[in-house]
Structure 1
């Protein structure tokens, strides 16, 4: 097998990586239960209250009539119609819960008086494709249909997700386009998991280096797709990197690290958006491993990455869709 040299980790974040690497080995099918038990970046209700934000839970009817829990997160005393953030959590398609990673979108709620909805989509392998993306789409439809009571301006609805959540956000945006579903003002795809085919150079470069390595990635895709992984029987909604027509999608913000498995597929997706006439902003942070901004938020590249992301969101929320009642 061809061996590749790889871009090094940023020295500042590498120190944080070294402290975690032994605690987070490569994920295998047998270690999925342990991964689900591991602590994840989840904000408690107390932490939300400390910045003037509250959470309440709602029920969303989803794929094949299932009832899912979603959380609505907003500034205390929110009134009127502000921006909406539809958030999809990460976890490799196999782990995580709806509050995982909410810290990444919390500044948008606080600073822009946005209302966020985050859904408890069902996880693989117990619920393989199409359950996760259909659950996410159902949550988006619910959010748009309840925009008035949630205090959301339907012309300012943004979708966001990190890692597997970024891949699901991209797939959900494709479903919204193809089903004439809710209009979206933008999509924030943070180090998104987009391609099941395991063919990129970055996959080979980070086979054994980082927090989410090649074996972990294969485990997640195998759980989601089973024997379909890598074949021509995979939907673009499950693996958006397979989409050949990205016309009509909302503007995208895509970021990742130069030192992670997802680098090449994320760059390719941004390029495909440009080729389809869709505006996209792409950042590849030098030496960043997967999730570096959450693991080492005080590092120089994490501060720069967070500032760039938050700046794009602020500019995007300053615009709005044509008034179509939240539908295309």
Structure 2
């Protein structure tokens, strides 16, 4: 950028014109596409100043944010000087640093924050009973590169434009909203799980004991899991959170006393069957309560 050039004709010899090299443009500029001419003019204006062109490169990076190396190549600025110029743009409030050595223009950040907020708001409208949208689901619908998405979400969390609720992302003003019938189903199903801590009901049990239809049971279980009232320990088995905490308490007490626990002993600690004890014991490994060596469990070192 900013290199000068002259166009001369050899025969007859004369100078046609000249100018300044700005940057390669991917499309031909046509009168039918005035926006390309406007874009070329913006590039040319920015190229008059090294720091202005760097700001332009950050603002127009295709992914929304860029790392130092591609910025250095595009702006033709050596890394050491580039770092100094970026610091100046950050100090002036024109650029923000994201995690992973990424930099984003404040205008781009504002636009992407609004895009994510709109997506979360739409999810709330369609799922008022949910505490929020899963981070991975929001990433997928946003279409953003993962590193850019993670950086913008972190900006929003830091500014309290988004909040984390029960492993989900939500707008701060969102509150879960249940119809009376739905609340009644939630209470009935949760009560059944609390009554059967270490022998949790399956869908057929719930249908038989509550009269709720199978489809409504599936929906209710999904909501209770999303709210972290229930925990899925394997593909088919759910436990109430009270069961998880009580099982962890008994497990820790046993190992602190005996030094270890053999897998077969766990079902006796909980007065349940192997069908439920083994998946729950594996879940204890997963959440960091225990570590496994063969069929023996030890408390995980902190």
TM-score, normalisation: structure 1: 0.23
Larger relative contact order (Cα-Cα within 8 Å, sequence gap ≥ 6): 1
Structure with the greater alpha carbon radius of gyration: 2
TM-score, normalisation: structure 2: 0.24
